[in-house]
Amino acid sequence: MGVGNATGCRAWAGSVSTAADSMICRMRTPFSLTTCAIAAILGLTACATSTGTGETTPTAPSPAVSSPAVQSPQPAASAKVDAKAVLAKLTAAKVGLTRGAVQNEDTDPNNLLGRPNGYTSRASADLPGGDTTSDRYGIDRGLVIEVFPSAADADRRSTYIQGLLKNAPILGTEYHYRTGDGTVLVRVAGRVKPTAAKKIEQAVTQV
């Protein structure tokens, strides 16, 4: 083969190689672009969970959503009774009370209403068997209601009176009854018959 033929062959071969390479490039380009796109997506995903050193960064836990605390309903506080309310309930119980009256600081015969160690309210009423000729608001007429700040105060008052009557029988006797919370002292004159006093005792337990 001559030089001319050799040169022509090399030119033809180069032309064939170039055409082949071009075809290969056209065939490989879509695949390469797709591969690069997938790699880029994977790379971005990896960046969200990995550090530059390849160590995985722990994902922070989502903050817990706390529910508002449900408060249990509190029981309503019971209203504190006064002597007027007790008198009304005993009168409604039809135990024989008449001429009921509520005292104030001017009509309180003991001068204990609203004073230290005294009661917070007082009421009185007549009862069958009581002395209707005695002092208008006195115990001898039948019944007295005394309301104290605490059960201990009412107990102290009852103990004091019963002690005086025990040591001086000439002063007479009294029935003493207490309401459920102990703050109300209901005094009944000893002249009242026991059966009538028993009805008052039962009515007091309902206050």
Reported as a single tens digit per residue, the pLDDT across 47-60 is: 444 444 555 555 55
CA geometry: angle 110, 156, 207, nearest 5 deg: 85
Q: Tens digit of pLDDT for each residue in 93-122?
A: 999 999 999 999 999 999 999 999 999 999
Q: Is the pLDDT of residue 159 over 50?
A: yes
Dist CA 111 CA 119 (whole Å): 10
The rounded distance, in Å, linking the Cα atoms of 27 and 30 is 7
User: Domain map of the chain by residue range?
Assistant: 1-50, 83-204
What is the structure's pLDDT at 65?
53
Residue 109 confidence (pLDDT): 95
Return the structure tokens found at 3.
Answer: 């030089």
Cα separation, 73 vs 91, whole angstroms: 35
Answer for the pair 188, 200: CB distance below 8 angstroms, yes or no.
yes
56: Cβ contacts below 8 Å, ≥ 6 apart? 49, 50
Q: Does pLDDT of 3 surpass 70?
A: no
pLDDT of residue 21: 46
What one-letter code names the amino acid at 186?
Answer: V
- What's the order of all strands across the beta sheet hosting 98-102? 98-102, 121-126, 142-147, 184-189, 174-178
**Mean pLDDT confidence for 21-32:** 43
In percent, the amount of the chain with pLDDT more than 90 equals: 59
State both tokens at 175.
Answer: 């029935």
Give me the residue label for tokens 């000439």.
Answer: 170
